[in-house]
A and B are shown apart, each in its own frame.
Chain A
Amino acid sequence: MKRSEQFRQANREAKTTVLATIVVILFWIAAGFGLADSDIVLFDTPIWVIGGCIVSWFFAVVVAWWLAEYVIKDVDMKEDSTVKGGGK
């Protein structure tokens, strides 16, 4: 992959990550605040706690997995030029 192509790909990945974050936030709102008025109780716990905390976290893990598997592409990272000691 040419360097310009690598950067174009990195830009796409960054944009998708931002969108994915927004989706997670919306899910978190829906699964927590969205269920806050429900009286359903599971395992002694109000449903909004399970949705907003546990399920939202599962959802974030699925999103992270999707990013890692399908969005972020492997590129060959060139090994940086070996420089003499003493910094730059």
Chain B
Amino acid sequence: MENLLNLAPALLFLAVLLYISYWVQQQSSEARSSNFVKDYFIGGRSLGGFVLAMTTVATYSSVSTFVGGPGVAWQIGYGWLYMAIVQMVVIFLVMGVFGKKISLIAREIDAVTVIDIIRARYKSDALANMAAIFIVAFFCATMVAQFVGAAKLFEAVTGYSYMTGLTMFGIIVVIYTTIGGFKGVAITDAICAIAMMIGMAILFYCLLDKAGGYSAIMAHFRANDPAMLEPLSRGKMPVSLYISQWLLVGVCTLALPQSVVRSISYKDTKALRNAIIIGTIVIGVVTIIATWVGVLCKGVLTNPDLAAYGGSVDNIMPRTIISVMSPFWAGVVIIGPIAATISTVSSLLLTSSSSIIKDVYMRHLEKSGKSLSNEGVKRLSMIFTILLGFGIYLISIAPPSVIWKINMFAFGGLETAFFWVMIFGLFWHKANSTGAICAMAGGVAAYCITMAMGFKVMSLHQITIGITTSLLFFFIGNAMGKMPDMDTLKLFFPDKYED
């Protein structure tokens, strides 16, 4: 296995990404010298429809789209594909609901982060700081999990060590995120999304080829494993799991800060409209191919006992790749999951960095009457991004168990924290800061506690508890708080307060 040929495709791919973000940096040097924050953290609001769609999909599709998800599909069958396709709504949902309104407001107040919007709406530093803490904590845990997942896959497929893989793409993603900023991240994300589709299409083809064609696999299912062909998979895929997933990876992703921030980065409404169509097509392609591969590889890895494959569904994809293709093609296909990983990490890294530098530190300076020169902001932002990135890399070498605990809470925790705060903030003029603080703190606490205890209601995922508690806390807190001031109301609800 150990030969340079199967390392070459991924190395070449990473080199291209590195060059692109260097190019973006050169192109942006003028914009950055006049307003660094706006160019670096939001790309100067210049994204077109194609890049906007691709970066949103690429940020959203992570290593679990390519490893964890297909692994479970191997176990459950078509039911898992049927469930996974719920993600087809997430792009038009976030862009259709928030896309235009957030952009109108962001241009008014020159917002570059989601927290800027939240601060302007609720006028509360406590809320903004809490939001920043949740973003950084949950994002960091997610980034570590992404790195570890991809490095393990890399090790299993190429035969090179975990450290080789981690160092290779870990260091490169940190560097290209730091120099490229938001625009660099967006363009590299677009390339990553294309790489994901190509990689999975090759795998799909080789898998069918190896298994003797699609009909042969389906005949195998009918004869030996009919549960694979039923939506409820003979009890392995209960309706409650469908509902949980609809909420967790479907509807509730609406308010994820890494998605919403993309709604303040586009150039004009034409870009938004194009992105809605392209994004819905691309997320469908990525989800269907990756998950379908997971279902069909049961035709190659036919032992129904997971123990035969090391006892973890995460081993299913690497073993499939190794058994259906030559080392060189395995080296090409591995680019797909690596692309999914680094495109998620790059976006989360930049958002974390903006939360600390822009939302907490610069705000703190501003309040104490100090300000930073453009050059100072530039130096600080880039140094912080690279340090945070290297920190994530170092933690991923030997991740402490607490990281896994935080990561387990991360996706649902972020959804719980931001869902009502964003929806009510933008669409309910009476929502106030007391309500928002109660909703964010109470919802996340309820979610994390019930997750930790394993407590469920009607066997639904704890996201239902988090979202419901958050809603109740919002109403209770809101009843105790004061109406927002007139300036805020005019800014966010001109349809009601200005005519």
Contact = CB atoms under 8 A, between A and B. Distances in A.
Grouping DSSP codes into helix (H, G, I), strand (E, B) and loop, the B interface class, with mixed when no group exceeds half, is helix
Contact of A24 (B37, B88, B231): B88
Given A45-B218, A74-B269, A4 B499 contact: yes
Contacts of A30: none
Contacts of B372: 86-87
Contacts of A63: 92
Contacts of A48: 82, 231
Interface string B370-403: 0111111100000000000000000000000000
B171 to A, nearest CB: 29
Given A14-B97, A17-B97, A54-B288, A85 B215 contact: no
Grouping DSSP codes into helix (H, G, I), strand (E, B) and loop, the A interface class, with mixed when no group exceeds half, is helix
Interface size class of A (residues with CB under 8 A): 35 or more
Nearest to A31: B82
Nearest to B230: A36
Nearest to A49: B78
Given A45-B218, A77-B104, A21 B89 contact: yes
Interface in B135-177: none
A65 to B, nearest CB: 5
Given A17-B97, A28-B86, A46-B229, A86 B371 contact: yes
Contact of A85 (B34, B86, B280, B284): B34
A84 to B, nearest CB: 8
Interface in B48-78: 78
Interface residues of B, number: 68
A8 B358 CA distance: 31
Given A83-B110, A87-B358, A64 B91 contact: yes
Contacts of A4: 494-495, 498-499
B274 A86 contact: no
Given A61-B281, A85-B34, A17 B78 contact: no
Contacts of A73: 269
Interface of B: 33-37, 45, 78, 81-82, 85-86, 88-89, 91-93, 96-101, 103-104, 106-110, 214-215, 218-219, 229-232, 246, 251, 268-270, 272-274, 276-277, 279-281, 284, 288, 358, 362, 366, 371-377, 427, 493-495, 498-499
The 5 A-B residue pairs with the shortest CB-CB distance, nearest first, are A85-B374, A17-B96, A64-B280, A68-B273, A60-B88
Interface of A: 3-11, 13-14, 16-18, 20-21, 24-25, 28, 32-33, 36, 43-46, 48-49, 52-54, 56-57, 60-61, 63-65, 67-69, 71-75, 77-88
Given A7-B101, A52-B231, 16 more contacts: A3-B104, A4-B495, A4-B498, A7-B104, A10-B100, A17-B92, A21-B251, A44-B218, A46-B78, A52-B82, A64-B280, A68-B277, A74-B269, A80-B110, A85-B373, A88-B110
